[in-house]
Amino acid sequence: MRIYLDTCILQDLKNESDKDLLNSIIQSKGELIYCFSEAHLYDLARDKTDEKFADMQFMEQIVDDNCSYYDKRILVDNFTPIEYYNRFDWTNDTSANELITSLSEEDDIFGGHLKSMLSLIPLNFKDLIPENQLPVDMPQNLMDMLLKPSNMYEFMLAMTDYSDTLSAEQKKFKEQLQYLHKNQIINHLNLIGIEGYDGKTITDKEKFINSYADYYLKNTNGKGKYRYDLFTDMYSGLEFFGFVQGKPKKQKMMNMLNDSKHAFFGGFCDIVVSKDEDFINKNQIYVQSSRN
């Protein structure tokens, strides 16, 4: 049986109070396989200190070299956390604001690749939602951010214009999501072709799955998307569209993006263990929408 432990669980297992549980997990490795993915390394890479390497060594006690990652298909290789980390240059793993800024630098290969990927994610609200249908009390800056961009890259640039410096809690990003949730922007889903959702529950599973996927498959020039990209796009959209309204302190852009990676890789294991309520709720949307 393959078990995927979320980063928050691995961090808890470092506590002295959970020492007995850690020992039980280590002893169970003869019967159970504990896995990790590149998403765990993205979590740790945001730590600018050397503490992340101690965390990788700790992880290895549990996950050994059971590594999953994606390169046009799901791959499983015998890399320990440190071995996988050392395969890449992580100097470009930055804060959300630094990441967005780097996308406009033409000599940044990483930024250019990410810019291209984000540009393929459609967010064409300006063509689908008439301005007079938006809440009358919507701040002008927020309205511009919603109506002017045509894709995720432009949306992220507009968002940094709205707030030059995102705080550690990414307060402005959180406020934007809360405002969209409060004013039920979800009511405009039919205008962008997403069906089978009444603002509270999924009313038609087949319509919801097909129309939600179709929304993210638009504007791909007939090339389609790798299922990894489609999954992570749709997962992040759960928060943006308000299908799952996260807790305020959890609404951090980089957390949301990386949670989608954990959800994807966890789906290839038998059991996923997490205490993150937002993460659990978003994954339940997929389970509920695909269950017959």
How confident is the model over 259-276, as pLDDT tens digits? Answer: 889 999 998 999 999 998
Helices of type H across the chain:
7-12, 19-27, 38-45, 51-63, 81-85, 96-102, 109-119, 125-128, 140-147, 152-162, 171-182, 205-217, 227-240, 253-266, 277-290
Q: Is the pLDDT of residue 147 over 80?
A: no
Query: Once rounded to an integer, what is the mean pLDDT over residues 41-55?
Result: 90
- Domain residue extents for the chain: 2-85, 108-268+275-290
Residue 87 CA to residue 24 CA, distance in Å, equals: 31
* CA angle, residues 117, 118, 120, in degrees to nearest 5: 70
Residue 159's pLDDT band (boundaries 50, 70, 90)?
low
pLDDT at 32 over 80: yes
Mean pLDDT, residues 14-41 taken together: 94
Provide the pLDDT for residue 177: 62
* pLDDT digit string, tens, across residues 119-139: 777 776 666 666 676 666 666
pLDDT at position 166 is 38
Structure tokens at 102: 């780097």
- The pLDDT of residue 150 is 75
Residue 61, pLDDT > 70, answer yes
Residue 81 has pLDDT above 90, yes or no: yes
Tell me which of 12-21, 114-123, 176-185 is least confident. Answer: 176-185
pTM of the model: 0.68
Kindly tell me if the per-residue pLDDT of 106 is higher than 80: no
Q: What token pair was written down for 36?
A: 């990790």
